[in-house]
Amino acid sequence: MRTVQSLPVVLVTALAFSSCKKETRPETFSRINAEVLQNAKAYATLEEATTTIGHRLTGSENGKKAEAYTYNKFKEYGFIDVQFQEFETKAWSRGTIAVSLDGENVKAVTLGHAPVEADVTGELVDMGNGLEADYAAKPGAAKDKIVLIYIGVLEGSPEGTRNLHRSEKTAIAIKNGAKGVVIFNQVDGGVLLTGTASVTGELIPIPAICIGKEKGFELKEKLKAGKKIEAHIQMTNHSDLIKARNVIATLKGSALPDEKIIIGGHLDSWDLATGAIDNGIGSFAILDIARAFKANKLQPKRTIQFVMFMGEEQGLLGSTHMVKEAVQNGTIENIKYMFNIDMGGNPIGVNAGGKLNDTTFFKTIGEEIAAVDTVYKNRFSNRSGLHSDHQPFMLEGVPILSVIGNLDRSIYRCYHADCDDFSLVNKEHITNTARFGTMILYALANAETLPAVKMDSETTKQFMIDNNLEEPLRIAGEWKWD
């Protein structure tokens, strides 16, 4: 096995290949591999950003600093065409919170888009997983109550129970008349999770909070024993009209400049920590993929845009703005693929969403990558979920791509939490994302024929159905096929 540690770190340049023969793709992959191992910057730049900037909340001063930081890095790496794509939106930020459950002050965090001001007292009622089936089993039980909901799927739930996003669970609670939502985490040790509780990006009408796993199960047991529990939630928050900026670096294609491949990841993060994992390991790997294209003098046939999206955490704001603008000006047809990297560290394969015309393309390039380093396992899937920046592109039928990561699962305990710190970042893993990501992107941008084409409306609809996305899209008001 050839590993990061055992590979030579000598830079292999194009001069190593005969000037009279065209470089093959495997040879290009080997050259990319050696250069990234020698000169990778993803780990160092993420460390610098988390140290000097901190969190990257959209609309905050830190968010502006992060936008400027990545803009300047693209310039430093040799990109001439670097632009800010500004958008105006309402951005949410937290204020104060005080929570009392069963007469005890409880540590809690506010979920995003909770009201600007709330002071609610009510009886706590256990609504299990917070899915439609839980409310159907207890008709009227949530009305004018504060509901207790598990963030995941409880042990003992019916086989095949599919979980929903915290925002979708909150929307169901609101529909059933709840006056407050208490979601408890699935991570041991009292870790608190933030994140939006809104399916629309607008303020929700009731307070929504997260408490620790242990406290949540303690409350469930008390309720199960028949005890009545009073809950009191008091909070203040902010919702202000702000301007934020996607950062876009463009590398123009040599043969098909009007065909565009977008590789993007969200630069923004929640404010409880530095967002090193979510999504520093994705966005800063993309920054290094861009650097590798310039350092290796890679000239794609198709235009590539490297995008740092803002506002993902607050409702896919930046990516939605980009897609809306592309639909309005007719350039959506030029976007042939959207490659999204969101916490996809240490890739071992790819997920290609959409209708594939060529089912062998990604397997073939995967074999070539695995020949460079067997750390890459050439896994493949053809599915999709929601709640990341690929979503607005996917809903317009654009084929999507992401990496299948192989991260240490323990880091996910800090997802959206106050422990999402740079100390969790594995240098080898983020370097793997940069080197394998560069190879995948290069192959895609230079494909003779793309493995998938833009889906028409009916094909997109069927892809959503096949991936069990109709229910969450309906809850969010984004199902557009009725």
User: Torsion angle, CA of 257/268/362/82, rounded to 10 degrees?
Assistant: 20
Return the amino acid letter for 60: S
pTM of the shown model? 0.94
Query: How far is Cα 289 from Cα 444, in angstroms, rounded to an integer?
Result: 14
Express each pLDDT in 372-396 by its tens digit.
999 999 999 999 999 999 999 999 9
Superfamily of domain 14-90+241-475: Zn peptidases (3.40.630.10)
Beta carbons within 8 Å of 356's beta carbon, 6+ residues apart: 382, 451, 452
Pairing, β 230-251 against β 256-266: unpaired
Domain 103-228 has CATH 3.40.920.10: no
Tell me, what's the pLDDT at 12?
44
pLDDT above 70 coverage of the chain, percent = 96
pLDDT > 70? residue 15: no
pLDDT band at 20 (very low <50, low <70, confident <90, very high): low
Phi and psi of 322, rounded to 5°? -60, -45
Helices (H), 353-456: 361-372, 391-394, 427-445
Query: How many residues are recorded in the chain?
Result: 482
Tell me, what's the pLDDT at 304?
99
Phi and psi of 65, rounded to 5°? -65, -40
pLDDT > 60? residue 9: no
CA 376 to chain centre: 22
**Which helix (H) or strand (E) covers residue 403, if one does?**
strand 400-405
- Cβ atoms within 10 Å, residue 109: 22
201: its two tokens? 């990006």
Helices (H), 397-478: 427-445, 457-466, 470-475
pLDDT band at 10 (very low <50, low <70, confident <90, very high): very low
The whole-number average pLDDT for the span 64-87 is 98
Express each pLDDT in 200-214 by its tens digit.
999 999 999 999 999
* N-to-C CA span, the chain: 53
Express each pLDDT in 220-276 by its tens digit.
999 999 999 999 999 999 999 999 999 999 999 999 999 999 999 999 999 999 999
pLDDT > 80? residue 17: no
Express each pLDDT in 146-191 by its tens digit.
999 999 999 999 999 999 999 999 999 999 999 999 999 999 999 9
Do domains 14-90+241-475 and 103-228 share one topology? The answer is: no
pLDDT band at 409 (very low <50, low <70, confident <90, very high): confident
Phi and psi of 48, rounded to 5°? -65, -45
| Domain positions in the chain | 14-90+241-475, 103-228
Express each pLDDT in 412-434 by its tens digit.
999 999 999 999 999 999 999 99
pLDDT band at 14 (very low <50, low <70, confident <90, very high): very low
Burial class (CB in 10 A: 0-12, 13-18, 19+), 139: exposed
Q: 122 near 234, Cβ under 8 Å?
A: no
pLDDT band at 450 (very low <50, low <70, confident <90, very high): very high
